[in-house]
């Protein structure tokens, strides 16, 4: 069994954060584990409140995981403060964690800040150097490269600018474009496009969390980075095409789209 750890925040509505990560990992056939950095009170309409874990408690969760069940990949999502980021960086270095995917979550699509302004420098200094790949969306990539991104050419320039500062790769996600949903991987000076038509579905809450967890899962399963991104992209496109429609705002994806209605065991129709 391959094991994957998510270090992220909890989303009470189940569409993003730890909950999206564990659903993704389960659906992709790996054993998911978690270290919770913060509790959020949120739903499909937005984030109402955030309660951070202490850096010490985040560190304790990481000790418990690494001392017992070593993950073959790690996904990092919402890490809201510099002390939490530094605690995570120290533990990941101590345990020589591998296949680290960093989703630099800054602001939820609903507009709520999920990272303190002062934490970005810590994220860049402590966690980016450990990452096999970082996965900014367009607003996050704009913050990292310092210019506006509108076209594929802009994405290429941004990936190159950000990629030059990293030992690992960068995947600039195209979910915030209006003409397509193409993502761009920049690895060792080479660009590869992962193209997909835009799915006409306003319910995309947790799409970045889902994609980064899927990449980590496929890395744990032995794919190389381009292979992991290709398979993760196919998974998220299908989860979006399944068109789940829950909640009053931007609803969650249907992570379980490949599981038959009623579930695999004990579900509807089991006793007929």
Ligand X SMILES: Nc1ncnc2c1ncn2[C@@H]1O[C@H](COP(=O)(O)OP(=O)(O)O)[C@@H](O)[C@H]1O
Per CB under 6 A, residues contacting ligand LCLJCK34 are: 8-9, 11, 16-17, 40, 77-78, 105, 108-109, 114, 204-209
Residue tagged 């303190």 (tokens): 116
**How long, in residues, is the chain?**
272
- Residue 108's binding partner out of ligand LCLJCK34, ligand X, none, with CB under 5 to 8 Å set by partner kind: ligand LCLJCK34
- Locate 217 and state its tokens: 């899962």
State in angstroms the smallest separation of the CB of 81 from ligand X: 20
Name which of 125, 127, 67, 57 is nearest 93 in CA terms: 127
Nearer residue to ligand X within complex by CB, 98 or 241? 241
State in angstroms the smallest separation of the CB of 131 from ligand LCLJCK34: 16
Query: CA separation (Å) from 196 to 183, 200, 227?
Result: 8, 12, 15
Query: CA separation (Å) from 7 to 44, 140, 155, 220?
Result: 22, 19, 27, 16
Nearer residue to ligand X within complex by CB, 86 or 173? 173
Q: Tell me how far apart the alpha carbons of residues 237 and 181 are, in angstroms, rounded to a whole number.
A: 9
State in angstroms the smallest separation of the CB of 168 from ligand X: 18
Sheet containing strand 73-76, strands side by side: 46-52, 31-43, 3-11, 73-76, 100-102, 133-134, 169-172, 183-187, 190-194
State in angstroms the smallest separation of the CB of 47 from ligand LCLJCK34: 6
Q: Tell me how far apart the alpha carbons of residues 207 and 110 are, in angstroms, rounded to a whole number.
A: 13
State in angstroms the smallest separation of the CB of 154 from ligand LCLJCK34: 20
Tell me which residue has its CB nearest to ligand LCLJCK34. 17
Nearer residue to ligand LCLJCK34 within complex by CB, 41 or 258? 41
- Residue 78's binding partner out of ligand X, ligand LCLJCK34, none, with CB under 5 to 8 Å set by partner kind: ligand LCLJCK34
Residue 102: CB atoms within 10 A of its CB come to 25
Nearer residue to ligand LCLJCK34 within complex by CB, 40 or 72? 40
- Residue 75's binding partner out of ligand X, ligand LCLJCK34, none, with CB under 5 to 8 Å set by partner kind: none
The residue ranges that bind ligand X (CB under 6 A) are 109, 137, 173-176, 181, 183, 196, 198-199, 201, 204, 207-208, 211, 233, 236-237, 240
Query: CA separation (Å) from 227 to 6, 75, 114, 199?
Result: 20, 17, 30, 22
Nearer residue to ligand LCLJCK34 within complex by CB, 17 or 32? 17
Nearer residue to ligand LCLJCK34 within complex by CB, 17 or 59? 17
Nearer residue to ligand LCLJCK34 within complex by CB, 139 or 260? 139
- Locate 11 and state its tokens: 């989303």
């Amino acid at each position: 069994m391959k094991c994957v750890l998510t270090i992220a925040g909890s989303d009470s509505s189940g569409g993003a954060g730890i909950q999206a990560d564990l659903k993704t990992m389960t659906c992709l056939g790996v054993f998911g584990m978690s270290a919770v950095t913060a509790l959020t009170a949120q739903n499909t309409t937005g984030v109402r409140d955030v309660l951070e874990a202490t850096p010490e408690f985040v560190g304790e969760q990481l000790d418990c995981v690494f001392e017992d069940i070593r993950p073959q990949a790690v996904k990092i999502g919402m890490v809201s403060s510099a002390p939490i980021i530094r605690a995570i960086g120290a533990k990941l270095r101590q345990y020589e964690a591998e296949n680290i995917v960093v989703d630099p979550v800054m602001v939820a699509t609903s507009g709520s800040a999920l990272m303190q302004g002062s934490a970005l420098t810590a994220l860049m200094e402590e966690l980016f150097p450990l990452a096999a790949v970082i996965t900014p969306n367009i607003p996050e990539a704009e913050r990292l490269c310092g210019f506006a991104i509108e076209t594929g050419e802009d994405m290429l320039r941004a990936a190159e600018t950000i990629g030059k500062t990293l030992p690992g790769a960068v995947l600039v996600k195209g979910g915030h474009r209006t003409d397509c949903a193409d993502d761009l991987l920049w690895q060792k000076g080479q660009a590869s496009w992962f193209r997909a038509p835009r799915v006409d579905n306003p319910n995309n809450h947790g799409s970045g969390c889902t994609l980064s967890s899927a990449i980590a899962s496929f890395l744990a399963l032995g794919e190389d980075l381009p292979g992991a991104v290709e398979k993760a992209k196919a998974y998220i496109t299908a989860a979006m095409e399944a068109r789940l429609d829950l909640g009053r705002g931007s609803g969650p994806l249907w992570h379980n789209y490949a599981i038959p209605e009623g579930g695999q065991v004990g579900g509807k129709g089991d006793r007929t």
